[in-house]
Amino acid sequence: MRVSARDIERAWDALGTLRGWDFSKVRDARGPTPWDYDDVVRAHLRPEHRVLDVGTGGGERFIGLASEFRHGVGVDAARSMLGTARDNASRAGAHEMTFALMDAAALAFGEASFDVVLTRHVQIHEEQIARVLRPGGLFITQEVGYDNTLNIWPAFGWDREAWGWDTDTVLAALVPRLRDAGFHIRTQCEYDVPYMFLDLESFLFWIRSVPFPEEVTLDAHGDALLRFVRDNSSADGIHTNEQRILVVAEKVA
């Protein structure tokens, strides 16, 4: 992929804005992965379940699972996300789902209120999750791994450790925390696969939208963007890696 500074400027100016947490317009490809988050969650859901999704964003994932359980509550600390989530649920006909403004560190639900708690790509507060789960209930989480998109960090002069990536991103650190909070680990796994943006617009939209140590702007990062694309492209696309961790844990009675 041959790219000039002018190509980057043109693509940048035409980028749309992120709505909720919707990356469906990003054209990408990844190496084979050992699991798919939606499939894993679906396999554990039952029609009678009460399910909580913490850090639900615009509910994009959660709403897609609505037909699998009885009652779903999505919570998020950002008010703007809740408006999007309610709108998305209404469009999808998921009228039974509710959404609330709430901090994951202070879940405003009673003990044993849920059969399943989900978190995907959001900080885990395991004591809160253990408290609101019934004994025997399941906590299912997929998190971004510590070594995710590894070539991005040095190319933009960012330091992962200084930014404070925490133990949610490393299985060997997360699993003991969950055990200490009263969980039995049913499944723990990790993948790290090649990941590729299929066009320049998709890469720019992604890097401008996901949390990094600083907001990516054309003024501040134009040179770094051009260098990264030139150094990490093939005819197929722009290359990095995707690392994810997955845990399915049961609250011990």
Ligand X SMILES: C[S@@+](CC[C@H](N)C(=O)[O-])C[C@H]1O[C@@H](n2cnc3c(N)ncnc32)[C@H](O)[C@@H]1O
* Binding of residue 138 to ligand X (CB under 6 A): no
Q: Which is nearer to ligand X, 62 or 233 (CB)?
A: 62
* Binding of residue 19 to ligand X (CB under 6 A): no
The one among 1, 45, 60, 183 contacting ligand X by CB under 6 A: 60
Task: Return the range that interacts with ligand X (CB under 6 A); candidates 89-97, 121-129, 154-162, 177-185.
Answer: 121-129
Bridge partners of residue 54, in order along the sequence: 75, 119
User: What is the pattern of x (binds ligand X, CB under 6 A) and - over residues 149-188?
Assistant: ----------------------------------------
Report the half-sphere exposure of 228 (CA within 13 A, side-chain side).
24
**H-helix segments, the chain:** 5-13, 37-44, 60-64, 79-92, 126-132, 152-155, 160-163, 171-180, 200-209, 218-231
Q: Which is nearer to ligand X, 41 or 238 (CB)?
A: 41
Which parts of 71-110 interact with ligand X (CB under 6 A)? 76-78, 81, 103-105
CB 210 within 8 A of CB 120: no
The one among 1, 8, 11, 21 contacting ligand X by CB under 6 A: 21
CA pair distance 23, 79, nearest whole angstrom: 19
Q: Which is nearer to ligand X, 142 or 232 (CB)?
A: 142
With CB under 6 A as the rule, give the number of residues binding ligand X.
Answer: 17
Tokens 């054209």, located at residue = 27
* Binding of residue 145 to ligand X (CB under 6 A): no
**DSSP characters over 45-92:** --TT-EEEEET-TTSHHHHHTGGGSSEEEEEES-HHHHHHHHHHHHHH
Q: Which is nearer to ligand X, 21 or 197 (CB)?
A: 21
CA pair distance 52, 128, nearest whole angstrom: 12
Contact set with ligand X (CB under 6 A): 21, 55-57, 60-61, 76-78, 81, 103-105, 120-123
